[in-house]
């Protein structure tokens, strides 16, 4: 069942520009010029209930803006959105009770109080039944392993601990939809991993719909079976992240090490040389002809070590990041 | 009716929690707390300087006795003092608009204006103003020999409350313009300088200024109406206006609030 | 940093002030209302007849109100918010690692941001003085006008030092920015920016002579309107210089202590 439907969603910001120098300032004092910046231009996608979808895109691609429109923080310039039957920016209480948003760069916790106090405030705001609240809180604190930190002032917590508290604060009312904007930004590897594992588990267990933006591919790989890449404000890829590098055709990477220094000429026959450094080289080879290629390699060169890899997902993503938006402008 | 009562209880409960949390926060920063009170004392003394000038001038100015004017000044000091109790929210609003920290508050299933303007309460700053204002009111009331009836006290309190409510709306409006302009310092300077007309009772000013301050931008209702009511100097029409004006301004303010949220750009998006 | 650098910062301050044009015009406009209010207040008080005005005639009082209103605008600050913000959110770090004196930096920017407004307000002052001498027949000696200009320059420096010192308290008071609005009103009034403080009796007059604040506004106004003798003016200049030195030392100490604390806490 479709829970999020986004159609031709567009958001344009107006900002004023100033000419350089004092003369520009003076002119600006009386006549101001404004420009428009399109952050999101006509994107459309749909998310099914219980899905976990990753939103990827370079900086300024409009991922966060999209999430903010979905959560009703921003009004769109044009386009339609329905989430669980509601139009987010109408900010109906019923809708607001059904979703939660966590942003890596913003906080809802009161910094000078223990996180437990913010939780209590949320309990009152969302009118959560006391017994139910206690059950949810127990479950979340033990899953995230922060029970001993509930009474500690938030500003004394580490970044990772704070993010876990943000997650708890967001999930206390058991939202059906969870928006996550860079939830692991700036965290150490261990915190990143435990938050990833938690989100994956939570999505599996509760069938809460998750829409996640992140710059860490590992986040997306761990949590989201499906990814949408946005660039220049529009959707350029939609599918499992693992398939993102298939834009390069069915290629493999072969890295090899020989007993002597290699030269480009003798490698050219096997595939595209990506890197060559003394006795090591990286070749791009067609997957179909891989077996024959490897046999010929072993025959022709004094190979010491050889490794066959997929083209890294990052390369596929980078390709889409560079690609101009389809249908943009 | 029952649902309304449930809503009132819901919001009062939240307000109580805000009060508790704000107090806990303030206990963390005791120097701030004391500094706030000290600065507010200074401000109160400034407002008292006007009282001194008026008392020095003599017994009566344009129909108000010195005691009645003391009551007016006391009302102004008390009401604006209570406003200082929620001032941190107002002060932070333009900053929050600029740095996008309203985001999380806007996703909560409560009235956003309630959450944004009443979340942080300051318990220190109102203390000097409320004490001093009350003292002036009681002193002026007694010296003037005005009758202490239930109707008088109730009327005085009601007009103080509407005055506080007007203060809330009239100070919120310029802050709301921060959704349209990056810096609202100039506007705040302008609005607080208009507010300064309340430093003295309105009888000091010529009729046309009084009319502007009663009907167009009803700032004079705050300082003068409670005292005028007790003096029996308010016509029924004026009493009605005194109760209607805050609602009218509130309607304007709510309209602006809704427009403002549409403009919100949530920085760093 | 070389003087050329500070000139550049001066220019930046000027541009910054003009970037917020609505602010620029509105804050100029906002000095009109208090003046109107004061004018009516004095009209009513003098009409009531018993104002203890310590030797000010009605005309002199109105003139004082006008000049003080404008003068307090001329010396008004606003940079204290930026300083406290820098202290609070760690923006100070970028100055601590650069070869620039933070105080001088702020002063250059402050001076730049004031330049346009001061120019405009001085023109208004000239108009007021011209009007006063035409309407009221009060002659203004050129010497006094020159001394007024000089006192204004020193008053600007003094007010900067006072507010810079207060802003540096932000090292210890985490939310001092909330208080700036009220602090600046209180300081404006005790500087004589609204009414001359000597009308509150000899004790108030003595206090304002001893305290630094009157030397940012009341002293300047009293030079032009002839309330001060030349000898008193000389003393006043000495007091301005004295307080500038005191506050400069004070903010040096606060800066030194605060920066030490700042780097210790890690910003």
The full 3-state SS of chain B, as one line of letters, equals CHHHHHHHHHHHHHHHHHHHHHHHHHHHCHHHHHHHHHHHHHHHHHHHHHHHHHHHHCCEECCEEHHHHHHHHHHHHHHHHHHHCCHHHHHHHHHHHHHCCCHHHHCCCCCHHHHHHHCCCCCCCHHHHHHHHHHHHHHHHHHHCCCCCHHHHHHHHHHHHHHHHHHHHHHHHHHHHHHCCCCCHHHHHHHHHHHHHHHCCHHHCCHHHHHHHHHHCCCHHHHHHHHHHHHCCCCHHHHHHHHHHHHHHHHHHHHHHHHHHHHCCCCCC
Q: A139-177 pLDDT, tens per residue?
A: 999 999 999 999 999 999 999 999 999 999 999 999 999
Closest-CA residue of A relative to C24 is: A29
Closest-CA residue of A relative to B19 is: A121
Closest-CA residue of A relative to B109 is: A93
Q: Across the interface, do A30 and C15 touch by the CB < 8 Å criterion? A: no
Q: B109-159 pLDDT, tens per residue?
A: 999 999 999 999 999 999 999 999 999 999 999 999 999 999 999 999 999
CA dist B224 and B242 (Å) reads 10
Ranked by mean pLDDT, the top range of B13-17, C21-25, C54-58 is: B13-17
Q: A24-44 pLDDT, tens per residue?
A: 666 666 666 778 888 888 899
Chains adjacent to C (≥3 CB pairs closer than 8 angstroms) = A, B
CA distance C69 to chain B (A): 12
DSSP β-ladder status, A209-213 and A177-181: parallel
List C-alpha distances in Å: A18 to A12, A24, A60, B186.
Answer: 19, 6, 21, 20
CA dist B169 and B218 (Å) reads 11
Note the pLDDT of residue A320.
83
Find out whether A92 and A66 touch, Cβ atoms under 8 Å: no
What number is the average pLDDT over the span B205-225? 94
Q: Across the interface, do C40 and B43 touch by the CB < 8 Å criterion? A: no
Domain boundary assignment for chain C:
3-265
CA dist B133 and B79 (Å) reads 8
Angle at C167 between CA C162 and CA C168, to 5 degrees: 100
Find out whether A211 and A4 touch, Cβ atoms under 8 Å: yes
Q: Give the rounded percent of residues in chain B with a pLDDT score beyond 90.
A: 74
Contact B60/C at CB under 8 A: yes
What does the radius of gyration of chain A's CA atoms come to, in whole angstroms? 25
CA distance C13 to chain A (A): 10
B120 located within any domain: yes
Would you state the structure tokens that stand for residue A79, as one six-digit string? 């386009």
Contact C14/A at CB under 8 A: yes
Q: Give the rounded percent of residues in chain C with a pLDDT score beyond 90.
A: 49
B268 located within any domain: no
Find out whether C250 and C258 touch, Cβ atoms under 8 Å: no
pLDDT at A316 > cutoff 80 = yes
Note the pLDDT of residue A328.
36
Residue A98 binned pLDDT confidence (cut-offs 50, 70, 90): very high
pLDDT at A300 > cutoff 80 = yes
Give the number of A-C residue pairs with CB atoms closer than 8 Å. 19
DSSP β-ladder status, A177-181 and A99-103: parallel
* Partner residues linked to A280 by β-bridges: A257, A277
The residue among C179, C233, C243, C235 whose CA lies nearest residue C211 is C243
CA dist C258 and C251 (Å) reads 10
Q: Across the interface, do C29 and B190 touch by the CB < 8 Å criterion? A: yes
- Element (H or E) spanning C54, and its range? none
What is the predicted ipTM?
Answer: 0.89
**B-chain residues near A75 (CB < 8 A):** 261-262, 264
Would you state the structure tokens that stand for residue C22, as one six-digit string? 């609505």
Note down the domain range covering B186: 2-263
DSSP β-ladder status, A52-56 and A226-231: parallel
CA distance B190 to chain C (A): 4
Would you state the structure tokens that stand for residue B140, as one six-digit string? 């002026």
Contact A204/C at CB under 8 A: no
The residue among A298, A261, A263 whose CA lies nearest residue A278 is A261
Closest-CA residue of C relative to A23 is: C15
A60 — alpha (psi -120 to 50), left (phi > 0) or beta? Answer: left
Contact C31/B at CB under 8 A: yes
Contact C29/B at CB under 8 A: yes
Alpha helices of C49-101 — where are they, by DSSP H? 58-75, 80-89, 93-96
The residue among C243, C71, C232 whose CA lies nearest residue C164 is C243
List C-alpha distances in Å: A77 to A13, A294, B232, C255.
Answer: 9, 55, 55, 48
Q: Across the interface, do B91 and C181 touch by the CB < 8 Å criterion? A: yes
CA dist A196 and A220 (Å) reads 9
Q: Across the interface, do B24 and A74 touch by the CB < 8 Å criterion? A: no
**C-chain residues near A29 (CB < 8 A):** 18, 21, 24
Q: How far is CA B253 from the centre of its chain?
A: 14
pLDDT at A326 > cutoff 70 = no
List C-alpha distances in Å: B268 to A43, A210, B6, B94, C212.
Answer: 20, 22, 38, 15, 43
CA dist B74 and C3 (Å) reads 52
Would you state the structure tokens that stand for residue C155, as one six-digit string? 């008053």
Q: How many CB atoms lie within 10 A of CB A250?
A: 11
Comparing A107-111, A312-316, B260-264, which segment has the lowest mean pLDDT?
A312-316
Note the pLDDT of residue A72.
94
Residue C263 binned pLDDT confidence (cut-offs 50, 70, 90): low
Contact A32/C at CB under 8 A: yes
3.40.50.300, 1.10.10.60, 3.40.190.10, 3.30.465.10: which CATH number matches A2-245? Answer: 3.40.50.300
* Partner residues linked to B268 by β-bridges: none
CATH architecture of A247-312: 2-Layer Sandwich (3.30)
Note the pLDDT of residue B12.
97
Q: Across the interface, do A113 and B104 touch by the CB < 8 Å criterion? A: no
Find out whether B129 and B78 touch, Cβ atoms under 8 Å: yes
Note the pLDDT of residue C52.
55
* C107 φ, ψ (degrees, to nearest 5): -65, -45
Domain boundary assignment for chain A:
2-245, 247-312
Same fold, A2-245 and A247-312: no
CA distance B86 to chain A (A): 17
Contact C19/A at CB under 8 A: yes
- Element (H or E) spanning C4, and its range? helix C3-19
Residue A288 binned pLDDT confidence (cut-offs 50, 70, 90): confident
Would you state the structure tokens that stand for residue C127, as one six-digit string? 């108009």
Note the pLDDT of residue B268.
54
The residue among B100, B8, B195 whose CA lies nearest residue A107 is B100
Q: Considering chain A, what is the average pLDDT of its residues?
A: 88
CA dist B159 and B137 (Å) reads 14
Contact B99/C at CB under 8 A: no
Burial class (CB in 10 A: 0-12, 13-18, 19+), A275: exposed
Closest-CA residue of B relative to A66 is: B269
The SS3 of residue C22 is helix
**A-chain residues near C15 (CB < 8 A):** 21-22, 24-25
Contact B57/C at CB under 8 A: yes
Q: How many CB atoms lie within 10 A of CB B19?
A: 15
**B-chain residues near A103 (CB < 8 A):** 103-104
Q: How many CB atoms lie within 10 A of CB B27?
A: 11
Contact A26/C at CB under 8 A: yes
pLDDT at C216 > cutoff 50 = yes
Would you state the structure tokens that stand for residue C90, as one six-digit string? 């760690």
When CB atoms are compared, the residue of B43, B91, B204 closest to C41 is B204
Ranked by mean pLDDT, the top range of A134-138, C15-19, C60-64 is: A134-138
Would you state the structure tokens that stand for residue C235, as one six-digit string? 């003393």
B111 located within any domain: yes
Q: A281-305 as b/e, with b when 16 or more CB fall inside 10 Å?
A: bbbbbeeeebeebbeebeeebeeee
DSSP β-ladder status, A303-310 and A251-258: antiparallel
Q: Which of C11, C19, C22, C266 to mutate to test the interface with A (most CBs of A within 10 A)?
A: C19
**C-chain residues near B28 (CB < 8 A):** none
Strands (E), chain A: 2-17, 33-48, 52-56, 78-83, 99-103, 177-181, 209-213, 226-231, 234-239, 251-258, 272-277, 280-286, 303-310
What does the radius of gyration of chain B's CA atoms come to, in whole angstroms? 19
Closest-CA residue of A relative to B105 is: A108
Q: Which of A13, A72, A73, A233 to mutate to test the interface with B (most CBs of B within 10 A)?
A: A73
Q: By a Cβ cutoff of 8 Å, what residues of chain A touch chain B?
A: 13, 39, 64-65, 68, 71-75, 91, 93-94, 96-97, 99-101, 103, 105-108, 110, 112-113, 117, 120-121, 124-127
CA dist A103 and A114 (Å) reads 19
Q: Across the interface, do C18 and A30 touch by the CB < 8 Å criterion? A: no
Q: B35-78 pLDDT, tens per residue?
A: 999 999 999 999 999 998 888 877 788 888 989 999 999 999 99
The residue among A8, A113, A85, A55 whose CA lies nearest residue A328 is A8
Find out whether B96 and B218 touch, Cβ atoms under 8 Å: no
Give the number of A-B residue pairs with CB atoms closer than 8 Å. 74
Find out whether C172 and C253 touch, Cβ atoms under 8 Å: no
CA distance C143 to chain B (A): 33
Q: How many CB atoms lie within 10 A of CB A85?
A: 11
Contact C22/A at CB under 8 A: no
CA dist B45 and B196 (Å) reads 14
Contact C15/A at CB under 8 A: yes
**B-chain residues near A125 (CB < 8 A):** 14, 108-110
CA distance B22 to chain C (A): 14
DSSP letter at A62 equals S
């Amino acid at each position: 069942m479709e829970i999020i439907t986004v159609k031709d969603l567009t958001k344009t910001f107006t900002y004023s520009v100033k000419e350089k120098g004092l003369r520009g300032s003076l002119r600006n004092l009386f006549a101001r010029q404004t420009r428009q910046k399109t952050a999101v231009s006509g994107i459309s996608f749909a998310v099914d209930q219980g899905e976990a979808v990753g939103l990827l895109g370079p900086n300024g691609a409009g991922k966060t803006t999209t999430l903010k429109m979905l959560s009703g923080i921003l009004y769109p310039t044009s386009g339609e959105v329905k989430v669980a039957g509601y139009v987010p920016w109408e900010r109906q209480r019923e809708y607001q009770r059904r979703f939660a948003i966590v942003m890596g760069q913003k906080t809802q916790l009161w910094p000078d109080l223990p996180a437990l106090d913010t939780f209590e405030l949320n309990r009152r705001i969302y009118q959560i039944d006391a017994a139910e609240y206690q059950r949810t809180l127990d479950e979340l604190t033990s899953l995230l392993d922060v029970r001993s930190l509930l009474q500690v002032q938030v500003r004394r917590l580490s970044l990772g601990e704070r993010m876990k508290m943000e997650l708890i604060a967001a999930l206390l009312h058991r939202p059906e939809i969870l928006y996550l904007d860079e939830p692991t930004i700036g965290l150490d590897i261990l915190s990143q991993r435990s938050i990833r594992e938690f989100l994956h588990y939570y999505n599996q267990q509760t069938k809460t719909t998750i829409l996640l933006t992140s710059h860490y591919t590992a986040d997306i790989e761990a949590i989201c079976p499906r990814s949408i890449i946005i660039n220049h404000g529009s959707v350029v890829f939609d599918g499992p992240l693992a398939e993102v590098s298939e834009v390069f055709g069915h290629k493999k990477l072969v890295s090899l090490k020989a007993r002597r220094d290699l030269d480009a000429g003798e490698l050219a026959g096997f595939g595209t040389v990506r890197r060559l450094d003394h006795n090591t080289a990286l070749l791009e080879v067609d997957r179909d002809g891989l077996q024959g290629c490897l046999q010929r390699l072993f025959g022709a060169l004094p190979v010491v070590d050889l490794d066959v890899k997929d083209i890294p997902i990052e390369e596929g993503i980078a390709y889409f990041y560079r690609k101009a938006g389809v249908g943009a402008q | 009716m029952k649902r309304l009562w449930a809503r009132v209880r819901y919001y009062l409960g939240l307000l109580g929690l805000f009060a508790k949390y704000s107090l806990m926060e303030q206990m963390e920063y005791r120097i701030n707390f004391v500094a706030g009170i000290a600065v507010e004392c200074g401000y109160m003394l400034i407002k008292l300087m006007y009282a001194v000038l008026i008392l020095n001038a003599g017994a009566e100015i344009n129909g108000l006795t010195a005691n009645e004017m003391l009551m007016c000044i006391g009302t102004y000091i008390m009401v604006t003092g209570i406003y200082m109790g929620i001032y941190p929210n107002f002060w932070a609003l333009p900053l929050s608009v600029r740095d996008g920290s309203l985001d999380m508050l806007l996703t909560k299933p409560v009235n956003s204006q309630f959450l944004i303007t009443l979340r942080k309460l300051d318990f220190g700053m109102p203390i000097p103003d409320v004490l001093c204002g009350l003292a002036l009111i009681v002193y002026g009331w007694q010296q003037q020999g005005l009758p202490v009836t239930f109707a008088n006290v109730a009327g005085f309190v009601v007009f103080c409350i509407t005055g506080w409510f007007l203060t809330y709306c009239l100070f919120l409006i310029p802050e709301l313009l921060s959704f349209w302009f990056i810096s609202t310092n100039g506007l705040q300077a302008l609005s607080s300088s208009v507010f300064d007309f309340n430093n003295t009772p309105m009888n000091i000013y010529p009729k046309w200024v009084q009319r502007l301050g009663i009907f167009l931008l009803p700032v004079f209702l705050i300082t003068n109406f409670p005292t005028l009511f007790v003096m029996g100097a308010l016509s029924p029409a004026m009493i009605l206006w005194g109760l209607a004006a805050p609602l009218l301004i509130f309607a304007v303010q709510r309209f602006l609030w809704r427009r403002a949220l549409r403009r919100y750009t949530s920085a760093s998006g | 940093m070389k003087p050329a650098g500070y000139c550049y910062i001066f220019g930046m301050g000027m541009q910054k002030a003009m970037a917020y044009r609505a602010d620029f015009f509105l804050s100029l406009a906002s000095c009109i209302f208090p003046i109107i209010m004061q004018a009516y207040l004095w009209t009513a008080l003098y009409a009531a007849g018993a104002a203890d005005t310590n030797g000010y005639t009605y005309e002199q009082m109105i003139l004082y109100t006008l000049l003080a209103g404008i003068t307090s605008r001329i010396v008004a600050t606003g940079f204290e918010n930026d300083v406290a913000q820098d202290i609070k959110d760690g923006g100070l770090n970028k100055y601590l690692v650069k070869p620039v004196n933070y105080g001088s930096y702020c002063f250059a920017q402050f001076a730049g941001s004031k330049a346009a407004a001061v120019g405009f307000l001085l023109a208004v002052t000239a108009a007021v003085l011209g009007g006063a001498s035409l309407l009221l027949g009060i002659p203004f000696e050129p010497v006094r006008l020159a001394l007024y200009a000089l006192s204004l320059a020193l008053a600007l420096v003094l007010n900067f030092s006072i507010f810079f010192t207060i802003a540096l308290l932000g090292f210890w008071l985490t939310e001092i920015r909330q208080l700036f609005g009220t602090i600046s009103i209180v300081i404006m009034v005790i500087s004589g920016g609204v009414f001359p403080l000597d009308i509150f009796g000899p004790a108030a007059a003595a206090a304002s002579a001893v305290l630094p604040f009157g030397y940012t506004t009341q002293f300047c106004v009293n030079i032009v309107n002839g309330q001060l003798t030349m000898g008193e003016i000389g003393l006043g200049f000495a007091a301005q210089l004295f307080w500038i030195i005191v506050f400069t030392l004070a903010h040096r100490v606060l800066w030194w202590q605060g920066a030490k604390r700042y780097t210790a806490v890690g910003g």
